[in-house]
């Protein structure tokens, strides 16, 4: 429902009129009507034209065409409207691909790139022999981080010349990757399919693997800590440390450089050691890295905290993938990796919400110390869980 005036009195009047229509229709037809009103009213979006013009000018300087909509013609409802009634705001829409409308099948297809992750992990686990699975996951992460480092630089270069080139180059490189992958992977994939088919009848179900199911909530909680990197971490660096955006970007670059230069060496060093012990340590380091932030200031100290949680990241990502792969057989590998990817993706959604809520209500110090305490709890919980994990593997 949409009222001419969004205030509660106007909306209450409209709600009563609509309810009377429903009651009248139910009485006439002999039906029963049940209803429940939402307690929240969404205000109309009040776009600030000065901000909108600045946004338009900046986007057009990057070669992107921008159309300013009539601020009095809006559809749908959003809590952004409530925000815009209090502070100057704009509600801009940026396309993820050219000539694709939101809420359309094409939009869903363009947004479905996340399907890559469980399939990629499954292929990696099924291809690598057990003795080098951990190195395989680490090498895969290395390739991802190199791409994540080169991508923004190339994207910025293209955007300065023509913003539309971003979409063309992105699409063409993806198509090139598909062709190259198909050519290289055809024979290995067929071999793995044949081998998996032979064992499909006796494949292990992840839903009956109790230690694995207990592991998933720990992954979600750990991910909630890690994904503060993309939510409250830059906010804290800006507000409390007083670092400019380019300096915050340099901190993220330190994370990437450490991964590229040290992760493979680190994984090689722990190859013949206990995976579960180092996974527990990785949970602890991730929480500790964020928990150290309130106790210092300056770029160098911030870089030190980044290094601590980066070592936690380097240990956790490939080791968790290798551990989960070792619990699956060829027939159930996809289901195991799919659930692992789901848990990690869930933390990507939940983590920033929890983090910003704690940051706003209890303060940043409470958030970072909470990350440290949570890391300690994860260390203890996984240490206990590692016993049935290792015992069952040894038994198998």
221: domain CATH number?
1.20.1250.20
The stretch 301-315 carries a mean pLDDT of 92
3-state secondary structure of 318: helix
**How far is Cα of residue 107 from the mean position of the Cα atoms in its chain?**
19
Supply the DSSP symbol for 329.
-
Instruction: Tell me whether residue 211 is in a domain.
Output: yes
Residues 238 and 168 in one domain: no
Residues 381 and 353 in one domain: yes
Round the average pLDDT of the chain to a whole number and report it.
78
DSSP sequence for 22-52: HHHHHHHHT--------SPPPPPP-B-HHHH
pLDDT higher than threshold 90 for residue 304: yes
> What is the pLDDT, as a whole number, of residue 396?
46
Residues 140 and 245 in one domain: yes
Residues 299 and 372 in one domain: yes
Residues 48 and 35 in one domain: no
Instruction: Tell me whether residue 194 is in a domain.
Output: yes
Supply the DSSP symbol for 204.
P
Structure tokens at 318: 């490939």
pLDDT higher than threshold 60 for residue 350: yes
Instruction: Tell me whether residue 231 is in a domain.
Output: yes
3-state secondary structure of 63: coil
- Count H helices, E strands: the chain? 14, 0
> What is the pLDDT, as a whole number, of residue 367?
93
The stretch 121-129 carries a mean pLDDT of 69
Instruction: Tell me whether residue 126 is in a domain.
Output: no
**Helix ranges restricted to H, 62-163:** 80-84, 105-110, 116-127, 133-161
Residues 366 and 257 in one domain: yes
Instruction: Tell me whether residue 244 is in a domain.
Output: yes
Closest to 391 in 3D by CA, of 246, 276, 244, 299: 276
Residues 178 and 300 in one domain: no
Q: Which residue has the tokens 């693997």?
A: 209
Domain count along the chain: 4
Residues 191 and 316 in one domain: no
Q: Which residues of 346-364 are buried (b: 16+ CB within 10 A; e: fewer)?
A: bbbeebbebbeebbeeeeb
Residues 196 and 314 in one domain: no
What is the chain's percent helix, strand, coil content, to nearest 5? 75, 0, 25
Structure tokens at 210: 């109790």
Instruction: Tell me whether residue 250 is in a domain.
Output: yes
**Domain span holding position 53:** 42-94
Residues 33 and 47 in one domain: no
Residues 27 and 82 in one domain: no
Q: Assign 329 a pLDDT band (cuts: 50, 70, 90).
A: confident
Distance CA 371, CA 224 (A): 9
Task: Render pLDDT for 364-393 as a digit per residue (tens, 0 to 9).
Answer: 999 999 999 999 999 999 988 887 776 555
Instruction: Tell me whether residue 253 is in a domain.
Output: yes
Contacts 24+ apart (CB under 8 A), 149-157: 149/253, 149/256, 149/260
pLDDT higher than threshold 60 for residue 196: no
Residues 291 and 305 in one domain: yes
Structure tokens at 115: 């399907």
pLDDT higher than threshold 60 for residue 28: yes
Q: Which residues are 47's β-sheet partners?
A: 89
Q: Assign 301 a pLDDT band (cuts: 50, 70, 90).
A: very high
Structure tokens at 62: 């990057």
The pTM (predicted TM-score) of the whole model is 0.64
Instruction: Tell me whether residue 389 is in a domain.
Output: yes
Q: Assign 5 a pLDDT band (cuts: 50, 70, 90).
A: low
Sequence-ordered list of residues with C-beta below 8 angstroms from that of 60, at least 6 positions apart, any chain: 66
Which of 154, 179, 202 represents a domain boundary (last residue)?
Answer: 202
């Amino acid at each position: 429902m949409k009222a001419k005036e969004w205030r509660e009195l106007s909306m209450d009047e409209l709600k009563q009129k609509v309810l009377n229509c429903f009651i009248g229709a139910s009485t006439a037809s002999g039906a029963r009507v049940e209803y429940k009103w939402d307690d929240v009213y969404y205000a109309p979006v009040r776009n600030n034209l000065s901000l909108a013009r600045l946004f338009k000018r900046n986007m057009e300087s990057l070669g992107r065409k921008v159309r300013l909509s009539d601020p009095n013609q809006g559809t749908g409802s959003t809590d952004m409207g409530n925000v815009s009634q209090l502070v100057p705001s704009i509600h801009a829409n940026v396309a993820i691909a050219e000539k694709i409308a939101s809420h359309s099948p094409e939009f869903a297809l363009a947004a479905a790139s996340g399907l890559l992750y469980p399939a990629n992990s499954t292929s990696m686990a099924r291809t690598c022999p057990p003795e080098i699975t951990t190195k395989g996951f680490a090498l895969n992460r290395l390739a991802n981080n190199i791409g994540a480092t080169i991508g923004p630089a190339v994207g910025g270069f293209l955007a300065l010349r023509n913003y539309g080139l971003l979409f063309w180059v992105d699409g063409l490189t993806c198509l090139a990757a598909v062709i190259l992958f198909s050519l290289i992977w055809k024979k290995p994939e067929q071999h793995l399919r044949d081998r998996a088919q032979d064992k499909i009848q006796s494949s292990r179900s992840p839903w009956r693997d109790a230690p694995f199911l207990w592991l998933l909530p720990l992954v979600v909680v750990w991910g909630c800590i890690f994904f503060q990197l993309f939510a409250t971490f830059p906010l804290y660096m800006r507000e409390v440390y007083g670092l400019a955006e380019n300096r915050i970007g340099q901190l993220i670059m330190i994370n990437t450089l450490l991964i590229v230069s040290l992760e493979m060496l680190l994984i090689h060093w722990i190859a013949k050691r206990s995976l579960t012990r180092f996974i527990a340590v990785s949970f602890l380091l991730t929480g500790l890295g964020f928990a150290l932030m309130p106790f210092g200031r300056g770029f160098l100290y911030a870089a030190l905290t980044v290094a601590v949680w980066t070592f936690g990241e380097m240990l956790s990502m490939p080791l968790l993938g290798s551990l989960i792969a070792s619990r699956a057989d060829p027939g159930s590998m996809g289901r195991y990796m799919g659930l692992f990817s789901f848990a990690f993706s869930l933390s990507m959604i939940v983590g920033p919400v929890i983090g910003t809520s704690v940051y706003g209500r209890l303060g940043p110090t409470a958030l970072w110390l909470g990350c440290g305490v949570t890391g300690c709890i994860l260390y203890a919980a996984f240490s206990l869980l590692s016993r049935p994990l290792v015992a069952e593997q040894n038994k198998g």
